[in-house]
Every structure is written in structure tokens, then in C-alpha cells.
Amino acid sequence: MGKRPKSFGLLAEYETPGDLYHACEQVRDAGYAAWDAYTPFPVHGLEKAMGLRASLVPWIVCVMGFTGAALGFLMQYWMAAVDYPLIIAAKPLNSYPAFVPITFEPGILFGAFGAVFGMLGLNKLPQLYHSLFNSKNFARVTDDRFFIAIEARDPRYHTEDTTKFLEETGALSVEEVED
């Protein structure tokens, strides 16, 4: 006799973005914490309906951009004033106006790396496997359906109560997904 597969949670299917939006508001207001919405295209304002906080990516980009600019400036200062100082035409060793173009470039480069790797890290990508891939209905998320998944690890999760709650939000179908 094999072990019963562990449940990942429940997957509710919705037909329109409006249905999903209102269901997300209801799930948020019900106090669920471990859940997410899945759509075939961006739905304006969905992050507000889900109660998500602002992204950290802009802060990561800002810190990385300033770090790159500072490193670019310090590299030029070290080369011009410390490593190989040359006095040319009575100009100072730290001629910072000449450093501006090169300071700008590593700032942009580091900011771009911060954006890409910050987004990948915060989104936990690449993710080659997810339990929702076990659902046949979930394949339609890239076509024409909208989904909410409430995970079993949520403190408010109880299979029967959560199924009933999702059905009351107007879901077309609710299925339990194995982990």
C-alpha cells in the first residue's frame, strides 16, 4: 500500500479577469497568506487586489547603480592619482570632470545586472518544476483561463472549508493539486 500523495493545495479556475480580480479581493480579505494568482496576460491592478507590497527591484537597481558608479569613480581615481600619477598641463591628479563618462557606464551596467538578477532572485526563477504543473486544467493559464492557487501550508487552509470558500468566489472549478 503506497503513501497518499501530499497535497500542494487548491487550484480555482476563473473565466474572466474581472472574476479573478474580485476573487483575489475576497481571498485577501479572508486572510489567506500563502496564495497566488496566475493569468495569461498582465491584469491591471491585480497586485492591489492581492494586497501585495511594492517590489524591491527598484531599490536593488538603485543600490547596484550607485555601487557601480562609485566603483567606476574609485577605479579612475586610483589609476590617475595613486597607481600611475602624471601631472599634465598642471591639471590636478583627481580631475573628476573627466571621470564622469566612465563613472556613468559601470553605474548603468551594475544597475542593469541588479534589475535582471534581482527580478530572477525575487521571483525564484528559473523554476523548472512547480506542483501546479500536475494539473491538466492549469495548462490553460497560458491561453484563456485565470487561476488562484491557495497552498496547503497556509495557516487558514482546510481542504473542505477552502474548497467551499473558493466555490463561493465564483470559481468555474476547484481542484486539489498533489505536491
What's the CA gap between 19 and 14, in Å, rounded? 6
Q: How confident is the model at residue 72 (pLDDT cuts 50, 70, 90)?
A: very high
Residue 2 pLDDT > 60: no
Q: Is 123's pLDDT higher than 60? A: yes
Instruction: Tell me if residue 83 falls in helix, strand or coil.
Output: helix
The pLDDT, as a whole number, for residue 3 is: 60
Position 88 scores a pLDDT of 84
pLDDT in tens, 17-65: 999 999 999 999 999 999 999 999 999 999 999 999 999 999 999 999 9
Q: Does position 177 have pLDDT exceeding 90, yes or no?
A: yes
Domain boundaries, the chain: 7-53+131-178, 57-122
Residue 159 binned pLDDT confidence (cut-offs 50, 70, 90)? very high
User: What is the tens place of the pLDDT at every residue in 124-142?
Assistant: 999 999 999 999 999 999 9
Q: Report which residue type is found at 95.
A: S
CATH architecture of the domain formed by 7-53+131-178: 2-Layer Sandwich (3.30)
Q: Which residues contact 55 (CB under 8 A, 6 or more apart)?
A: 122
Instruction: Specify the pLDDT at position 67.
Output: 98
Which amino acid makes up residue 69? A
pLDDT at residue 1 greater than cutoff 70: no
Per-residue confidence (pLDDT) for residue 5, from 0 to 100: 63
- At 142-153, the pLDDT tens digits run 999 999 999 999
Task: Tell me how crowded residue 71 is: count the other CB atoms within 10 A of its CB.
Answer: 14
Task: Report the candidate in 149, 137, 145, 167 with the shortest Cα–Cα distance to residue 10.
Answer: 149
Written as nine digits, the cell of 123 is 521571483
Q: What is the pLDDT of residues 78-114, one digit of tens each?
A: 999 999 998 888 888 888 899 999 999 999 999 999 9
